[in-house]
A and B are shown apart, each in its own frame.
Chain A
Amino acid sequence: MDWRQLWEIVSAPDNVPIVGLIPLLIFYIYLAWKQAKANDDLIAELETNPAMAKTHHRKTWPFRPGWQKEVHVWPFLLRIEFLAAMIVSIVLMVWSITLSAPLEEPSNPNLTMNPAKAPWYFLGLQEMLVYFDPWIAGVVMPTLIIIGLMAIPYIDTNPLGSGYYTWKQRKFSIGTFLFGFIVLWVAMIIIGTFIRGPGWQWFWPGQTWDHNRLIYEVNRDLPDLFGITSNLAKAIFGAIVVGGFYVIGGFIMHALFRRYNPKDYKRMSLLQYSIMMFFVLSMVALPAKMLLRLAWHIKYVWITPWFNV
């Protein structure tokens, strides 16, 4: 256990935000989960008790007849905003006094940093470079993430769970978002920050960074495993595999979604349904490709003279 190495990584000034992000995320997930559970319990109770459902104020916080439903912004909201601004200022001030922003040597194009890391919030994408070519990891994926996020309100047709925390009424959408945000975005950032060392190689926390380490790893392409040699055949084979992933994956997704979300399925138009399928499958393609690489050392699935997937 190399504590010094571990400390150097954790205490690097630009890594501190990520060290801070982890407990923050845990806290806010807990806060959301607590409220979701309270709401879900209330919903379950109201579902079984129609008389109560007619009179209940439908919130988990106390409310009595005669209480005002609204409060004045001045002072009830403004004092909170003022307090928040004060607290953020103090935190920022203390942080800035105790920890200095990093400044390394003057930029030098002839001296490559190893590892050369992107800013921490883009490390998830940089981590994806291990598994995908730059045109996918660096261009197509960010584009799909942005378009996918923008599409969310138009493909989520579930009218429940608007304006309150819940899990049981929105299992699929919340589950998918948590998977995308926590597993595919934040976890990749954490790996990129704390695990990846020189040569973008995997170093466990506390393992000394060895700048001379070489890993003998032979990556193969999927067509090679099937003994396909001609370029044309490789291109056709790859197209079939990738297309097959979307077709078969889409079929499995369809079978599951239809069974477990019958109402959403019924509500969604063909366009909404196909857009959702495309984005969910593209998202699943990330861990699928990672699995191919980690388990079977497969680099490319689809090889063409112009691009590789």
Chain B
Amino acid sequence: MAEENQNGKNGNRVGLLERVKAGVKEDIQSLKTDMPAKAKDQIEGLKDPTKTQVYTSIFRHKHDDTPRNRALGVLSNVFLHLHPAKINRDAVRYSYTWGMGGITFYLFIVLTFTGVLLMFYYHPSKVQAFRDVLYLEHDVPFGKLLRNMHRWAAHLMVIAVWLHMFRVFLTGSYKKPREFNWNVGVILLVLTLLLSFTGYLLPDDQLGFWAVTVGTNMARATPLLGHEGPFGKMLGMTPYNDVRFGLLGGSIVDANALLRSYIWYCIGIPIVASIFMIVHFWRVRKDGGISGPAPVILASEVKEARK
């Protein structure tokens, strides 16, 4: 630096300063003129958010009320694409479907949601389980509401499943080509009851304990596989190796039974049920959508298959 000064290069230095000054002036000027223009554009752009890149990256089609967009609204949405774009005009009538299948699914979602929240407060151990429920009821904010909602949604789901099956039977919706889906539905019915049953034990109170004791005592009497069942003794069944032992992880309803219930209830059955639900919904679509309301057929119009 010192050398540069001695060589009389001060003039250059002044020139540099000038250039920087001019540049800064230019920048300030551009801020003064460009930014308001850009801001104006920005505000202009916000007036129609549907034109923004963020919006168009999320929603892949326009939303003007045209038949095409109505169809795309369903088809291009991962959650809604379970539905077809259009359905039988009478299929939206509540009196036909009773909406019970959808309500069952909705309750399953409610149960998953409340169930996950309850899992934060619950330990499936003999020491903790009952206290955790007391804690939920008395100390956790909205804990009581959470537990109540979980309980009543479970009961409601059992009722909704029954009514769904009842409606499907009464409308003959299990008939060709929906035989297989009826079977998937029967499995889902059983899984719903098992879910409710395994959940019954978890508060570890007298009600759940004795209900599960009564329920699993039946397993003693399983033919061949239970120690009190027909031919069970002959096959070497004892209270310590029969099917009930396998269910409870012991010969009485105790700590292992609580843990097994919990795991079946929170992980095992929900996963299996979800898989069956996927198949169930998929098949509803593949079998031609919901069964009706179909035009009535007269007995005289039925063509008997040749034998």
Contacts and interface: CB of A to CB of B under 8 A. Distances in A.
Interface of A: 14, 17, 20-21, 24-25, 28, 31-32, 35-36, 39, 42-43, 46-47, 53, 57-59, 61, 67-78, 80-81, 84-85, 88-89, 92-93, 95-97, 99-109, 111-113, 116-122, 125-126, 133-135, 137-140, 146, 149-150, 152-154, 156, 158-166, 169-170, 174, 177, 181, 263, 266-267, 306-307
B124 interface: no
Contact of B152 (A85, A99, A154, A164): A99
Given A77-B92, A116-B214, A306-B230, A92 B102 contact: no
Given A102-B207, A139-B219, A153-B174, A78 B298 contact: no
B226 A135 contact: yes
A156 B296 contact: no
Contact of B99 (A80, A133, A138): A80
B229 A92 contact: no
A270 to B, nearest CB: 12
Secondary structure at chain A's binding surface: helix, strand, loop or mixed?
helix
5 contacts: A36-B170, A46-B296, A135-B221, A138-B218, A150-B182
Contacts, number: 291
Interface stretch (B11-19, B43-51, B69-77): B69-77
Contact of B296 (A42, A75, A119): A42
B268 interface: no
A107 B202 CA distance: 11
B278 interface: no
Interface in B65-118: 67, 70-71, 73-74, 80, 83-96, 98-99, 102-103, 106-107, 110
A104 B231 CA distance: 38
Given A43-B296, A118-B215, 19 more contacts: A59-B90, A61-B293, A69-B88, A71-B92, A74-B73, A75-B70, A84-B106, A107-B206, A108-B206, A121-B193, A134-B217, A135-B230, A138-B217, A156-B174, A160-B299, A163-B172, A164-B292, A164-B296, A177-B169
A154 B110 contact: no
A61 B93 contact: yes
Given A35-B96, A70-B89, A162 B176 contact: yes
Interface of B: 67, 70-71, 73-74, 80, 83-96, 98-99, 102-103, 106-107, 110, 130, 133-134, 137, 144-145, 147-153, 155-156, 158-159, 162-163, 166-167, 169-176, 178-179, 182-183, 186, 189-190, 193, 196-197, 200, 203-211, 213-215, 217-223, 226, 228-231, 234, 252-254, 291-300, 302, 304-305
